[in-house]
């Protein structure tokens, strides 16, 4: 099985590694500048670096767009593929139809989505066996071809349509991105007073463990908001009164917790 990957960011870094480690040859890596490929190519057996999107002579049958969400449509409209190729994107937020523009240049192409539901940082490897792979294809044959590759790298492969993937993506933003941002704000609060953020890490860990064990995370909610401890809430707001943005976040999350549990 041979694939080509377009992109050099976080997802491209991880996919190239895990695919080759599991017997899928990455024949080509397409990047805007060759220097962008340096962090990836050292781990690949034999890959051709391209700075264009003409894959007419490519040996690959599957082409993976591992580019930013905003770039998916324009790349799909520009890429030139060999006959009967499968073109997929890796976005959680974009529907499969964002690839339809590729059919003007590649009328025989099949379309799909190859979405790993995980947070990725280049250089920090993850265990792909635990990474849910959300697969969508325009027909059964395309879906089965994508599942065949996904099964090689993950133990959690699911068929997920574009609407379902969009719902999962917004839920993931709350569970991952927003949560991480709240930790970042917490670190800023402690450092402002020369306190060590590490003192909070056992609390963070316990909160995570309890939420994962509970049937519903709301069951293990604690804190002044759910207790409606207005005296403590007012004291907190007084302590951060000089930071309007921080106060807005505090008030918004407090109100959300209280509304949920009323």
**Cα gap 84→95, rounded to integer Å:** 21
pLDDT in tens, 160-203: 999 999 999 999 999 999 999 999 999 999 999 999 999 999 99
Beta-bridge partners for 216? none
Given a cut of 70, the residues of the chain with pLDDT beneath it are 34-45
Rounded alpha-carbon distances, angstroms, from residue 15 to 9, 88, 174, 194: 10, 13, 24, 40
Query: What pLDDT was estimated at residue 220?
Result: 95
**Cα gap 38→202, rounded to integer Å:** 38
Tell me which residue of 18, 86, 24 sits closest to 55, measured CA to CA. Answer: 86
Query: What pLDDT was estimated at residue 40?
Result: 65
Q: CA angle, corner 130, sides to 129 and 132, nearest 5?
A: 105
Cα-to-chain-centroid distance, residue 47:
25
């Amino acid at each position: 099985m041979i694939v080509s990957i377009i992109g050099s960011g976080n997802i491209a870094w991880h996919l190239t590694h895990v695919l080759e480690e599991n017997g899928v040859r990455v024949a080509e890596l397409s990047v805007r500048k060759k220097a962008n490929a340096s962090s990836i190519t050292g781990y690949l057996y034999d890959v051709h670096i391209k700075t264009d999107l003409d894959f007419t002579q490519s040996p690959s049958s599957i082409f993976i767009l591992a580019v930013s969400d905003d770039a998916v449509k324009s790349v799909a409209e520009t890429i030139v593929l060999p006959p009967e190729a499968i073109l997929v994107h890796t976005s959680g937020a974009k529907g499969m139809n964002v690839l339809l523009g590729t059919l003007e240049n590649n009328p025989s192409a099949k379309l799909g989505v190859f979405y790993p539901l995980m947070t990725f940082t280049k250089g920090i490897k993850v265990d792909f066996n635990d990474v849910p792979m959300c697969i969508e294809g325009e027909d059964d044959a395309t879906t089965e071809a994508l599942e065949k590759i996904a099964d090689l790298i993950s133990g959690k492969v699911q068929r997920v349509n574009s609407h379902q993937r969009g719902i999962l993506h917004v839920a993931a933003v709350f569970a991952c991105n927003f949560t991480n941002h709240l930790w970042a704000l917490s670190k800023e609060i402690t450092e402002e007073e020369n306190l060590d953020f590490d003192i909070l890490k056992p609390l963070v860990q316990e909160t995570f463990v309890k939420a994962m064990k509970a049937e519903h995370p709301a069951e293990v909610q604690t804190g002044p908001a759910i207790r409606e401890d207005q005296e403590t809430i007012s004291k907190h707001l007084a302590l951060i009164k000089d930071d309007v943005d921080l106060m807005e976040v505090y008030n918004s999350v407090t109100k959300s917790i209280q509304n949920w549990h009323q």
